[in-house]
Chain A
Amino acid sequence: MLFNSLEFLVFFPMVIALYFAIPARYRWFMLLLASYYFYMSWRVEYIILIVISTVVDFYCGKKMAQLPEKSARKKYLYLSLVSNLGLLFLFKYFNFFSRSASRVFGYLNDSFLHWNVLHDTYTLKLLLPVGISFYTFQTLSYTIDVYNGKTNAESHLGKFALFVSFFPQLVAGPIERSSHLLPQFHKDYDFDYNRVKEGLLLMVWGFFKKLVIADRLAEYVNEVYNNVDRYDGFHNIVATYFFAFQIYCDFSGYSDIAIGSALIMGFSLMQNFRRPYFATNIREFWSRWHISLSTWFRDYLYIPLGGNRVIKWRWYYNLFVTFVVSGLWHGANWTFIVWGFLHGSYLVLGYMTKNVRSKLLKSVKLDPNSHLTRLLDVLVTFHLVLLAWIFFRANGISDTYVFLKNTLSLDVADLDRINLFRIRSDWTISIVAIMLLIIIDFITERAKIRYYFNKMPGLLRWVVLVFTIGLIVFLGKFEEQDFLYFRF
């Protein structure tokens, strides 16, 4: 079930009405049923994967809690890792690695070995389960934390099952930590006017970003990126700028709807985006973009590899590994690996050239803390991210090559044909909506916009809310578009 579907528009009011109507002690059960229904609406049989993850990790957690020795707990950690990552590998990566291996062996056979074997590609006809990367990582963090003694094992199977499948964040995060979310399922939440209002507001803003901005820009981006032979120069540049805002609005919109819908029921989910395009360097970008994933990789991969408390070259290696794995997490395609590699390179080069850049700033007498320097930093960071988005969005490595090659041929005449939208007015609406987004993000960066919103007279507040809903209804794109991060 998609958040931007009529199905969800019917499902969600039923769930929250029931949630507040029934006694608190039954709510976890009702939410569990609702979450399973939410997932099964996409494909009924794949619920079995969630049930397997739930049962295995609950069992491993309980067993590990009974063993004081870390070494004795190890086998249960391995059981959890193998079963979760095994399912993830089978459904998401098997075909990719099989095809890649087949190509390598095919090349070796043809060029050197001439064995005439291993030419066949073994692939599985399996549909990628929606959200498998998200719930797998969430439940893995639980077993790793229990193994490390950072969190207690959950004793209630039903509430643990709800932790794995909680519908607002089941298929696209935020990837929650057990220490943050699990205890919340043991508390009772009364109806709270302010909390419900905050949640609704966040949901409305999320829907605005998704339906008015992301899905509108998607038409342009898809047209250009799906026909890389047909377009060049300005079209490619515009499509890439549009994609930067499409993916931001798509994913942060989803996160806002998830956080808002959980908040209405009383649950607090972690912040997933913090105006990432205002980052002044790549490290800061990753502390603002998909925060729940970047902190996951920091805590469960980068730090266990040694983090930055190792010799310099090992540190750089750790950064590369973390980002390449992060790229692979996004999808079984070489484009994602290159995307991760690029971000790793940005970070390493950033550290390597730190002193040179400081000297350069001094030589041109620029104050590193001035507004101008900050603006330049923001622009450079944004364009580095933009370059990497090309690999992220392209349909394959060969498409990326064609796209980049064609981008270099700039034809001024293309500017007259720059509007590729089917509905001509979508061009103006897109530009205005992006500017509005930047302005709102800019204000939020400097002040808590919600604080000022709450200071408004009650009636005005509701007028603003209803007006925004009206804008969504009037300007939204309702020809169903998947959330981009559902694919991961």
Chain B
Amino acid sequence: MEKKKGIWLKYFIYVSGILSFVVFVSVRFNHLPQAIVVDGIEDHGELYHITYIDLFAQKIEDKIHFRERLYDPRRDINEAEILTFGDSFFEFPLEKPFSLRLADTLNRTVYHANSYYVMEYLDTVNYVKGPPKILILDVVERYFPYLFTEKHRLFLNQNPRPANDFYSKIFLEDAERKYTVFLQKSIFTHYLYSRVNTLKFNLLGYLPSQVPKYSRDPLMGFYHETVNDGVTSAYYEWEDDDIREMCDEILALKNALKKEYNLELLLMPMPNAYTIYRNLINDSGYNNLLPRLYKGLGERNIRYIPLMDAFLAVDEMVYHGTDTHWNKKGQDIALKMVMEALDSFEKVTANN
């Protein structure tokens, strides 16, 4: 009788075991098979992919897959007329990437690399010193301390290559992240996962720690790196010496690029969304990192694009409310400013 009583539980355990095995194998592929990913959610901004709360479930239009063109292995960096380096703002895949818009607008070849480490990259791809060219480097505001201060330096690996050997697949280093992605995106679990998160948000005010602050009208979520206690935060108090060190390091990079490769640096410090929209959450705490950097860069004759002032001057939204990146309007403003800077650079070069 006891045995019969528990037979359903025994089969439940077997079924759970088989399903778990399927999940165990699934996450060991590099990508989840498309057949089990919920349709439509890939179009949402990254804040939705962090929170899975309905409030942030907005589609971002103009989703175009330019990645393949961007990383065309047949391109030769030496043939490019303009080089662009930097982070995801330049290759934000939800809009047409900045580098391609630049190439199309100027009708020139643009080589883009998703890397902050310009000198190392140029060395690796055997860039040959040639006629003077422009190199545009985009650095998001929160990563200046990691890239240009000795004390806070942190290597930002932008293109992690997944290990492919059997051993690494069995003992997955980022297993937890992959299981979480499965939970968030698979057709078996997505609905429950997003319902629970939304209910927790609505009833208890729960928000994941990666998006600790937000405004509802207009909708704007703020990424934790910009509003936490760390050095990347807008609240971190920088000494004048720190700002000086950052500017000196950038100057050293500018000089090295010129000397080694005959490349002119055009720096594009990318404001955090918080820097532009902090008034939406009545949060006035800002360390003025960008204005202080602009001043230091100007004093050292380093060319830069003052996006912060331009973004603050427009009434329209220049960032997506449910993503940390700029929108089409923001990209338009930046493109216009870069064109003007290139024009001025070319005039100077021609005069010389």
Contact = CB atoms under 8 A, between A and B. Distances in A.
Interface string B6-26: 100110011011111101100
Contact of B13 (A13, A41, A44, A429): A13
A259 B305 CA distance: 61
Interface stretch (A191-199, A235-243, A298-306): A191-199
B16 A13 contact: yes
B13 A17 contact: yes
A288 to B, nearest CB: 33
Nearest to A10: B20
A451 interface: no
Contacts of A424: 205
Interface in B2-49: 2-3, 5-6, 9-10, 13-14, 16-21, 23-24
A14 B204 contact: no
A12 B21 CA distance: 10
B209 interface: yes
A422 B6 CA distance: 44
A479 B208 contact: yes
B22 to A, nearest CB: 10
Contacts of A11: 20, 24
A157 interface: no
A18 B17 contact: yes
Contact of A194 (B2, B10, B19): B2
B166 to A, nearest CB: 13
Contacts of B21: 14
A197 B5 CA distance: 12
Contact of A425 (B16, B18, B204): B204
A15 B23 CA distance: 14
Given A5-B176, A17-B18, A423-B207, A10 B24 contact: yes
B154 interface: no
Interface string A185-217: 000000111101100000000000000000000
A432 interface: no
Q: Is the interface of B mostly helix, strand, loop or mixed?
A: helix
Contacts of B208: 479
Contact of B176 (A13, A194, A474, A480): A480
Interface string A290-331: 000000000000000000000000000000000000000000
B84 to A, nearest CB: 35
A41 B171 contact: yes
A422 B5 contact: no
B9 A197 contact: yes
The 8 closest A-B pairs by CB, nearest first: A17-B17, A193-B6, A6-B179, A13-B16, A13-B20, A425-B204, A10-B20, A14-B20
A473 interface: yes
A479 B224 CA distance: 14
B206 interface: yes
Interface of A: 5-7, 9-18, 20-21, 40-41, 44, 191-194, 196-197, 422-425, 429, 473-474, 479-480
A192 B24 CA distance: 27
A486 to B, nearest CB: 15
A423 B20 contact: no
A216 B88 CA distance: 34
Contacts of B19: 13
Given A20-B13, A191-B6, A193-B9, A479 B20 contact: no
Given A16-B13, A17-B16, A44 B171 contact: yes
Contacts of A192: 2, 6
B23 A10 contact: yes
A7 B176 contact: yes
B183 interface: yes
29 contacts: A5-B179, A6-B179, A9-B179, A10-B23, A10-B24, A10-B179, A11-B24, A12-B20, A13-B17, A13-B20, A14-B17, A14-B20, A17-B17, A17-B18, A18-B17, A20-B13, A21-B14, A21-B17, A40-B171, A192-B6, A193-B6, A194-B2, A194-B6, A196-B6, A196-B13, A197-B6, A423-B204, A424-B205, A429-B204
Contacts of B330: none
B180 interface: yes
Contacts of A18: 17
Interface hub of B6, B10, B17 (most chain A Cβ within 10 A): B17
A14 B13 contact: no
Most B-side CB within 10 Å, residue of A10, A15, A194? A10
Contacts of A41: 171, 175
B312 interface: no
A360 to B, nearest CB: 48
A244 to B, nearest CB: 25
B199 interface: yes
A194 B291 CA distance: 68
B205 A425 contact: yes
Given A17-B16, A473-B196, A196 B205 contact: no
A423 B53 CA distance: 15
B200 interface: yes
Given A193-B6, A196-B6, A423-B206, A17 B14 contact: yes
Contacts of B24: 10-11, 14
Given A7-B179, A13-B17, A425-B204, A20 B171 contact: no
Contact of B199 (A7, A40, A193, A474): A474
Contacts of B306: none
Interface string B198-220: 01100011111100100000000
A14 B20 CA distance: 6
B205 A423 contact: yes
Nearest to A223: B229
B152 to A, nearest CB: 19
A191 B10 contact: yes
A36 to B, nearest CB: 11
A16 B16 CA distance: 9
B209 A479 contact: yes
A6 B199 CA distance: 21
Nearest to A200: B9
A474 B197 CA distance: 8
Interface in B149-207: 171, 175-176, 179-180, 183, 196, 199-200, 204-207
A20 B18 CA distance: 13
A289 B238 CA distance: 47
B176 A422 contact: no
Contacts of B14: 17, 20-21
A448 B13 CA distance: 28
B199 A422 contact: no
A424 B206 CA distance: 9
A14 B209 CA distance: 31
B10 A20 contact: yes
Interface string B46-85: 0000000000000000000000000000000000000000
B18 A193 contact: no
Contacts of A40: 171
Nearest to A480: B176
A117 B343 CA distance: 65
Contacts of B5: 193
A474 B202 CA distance: 12
B2 A6 contact: no
Contacts of A194: 2, 6
A44 B10 CA distance: 32
Contacts of A9: 20, 179
A20 B10 CA distance: 8
A108 to B, nearest CB: 33
Contacts of A7: 175-176, 179
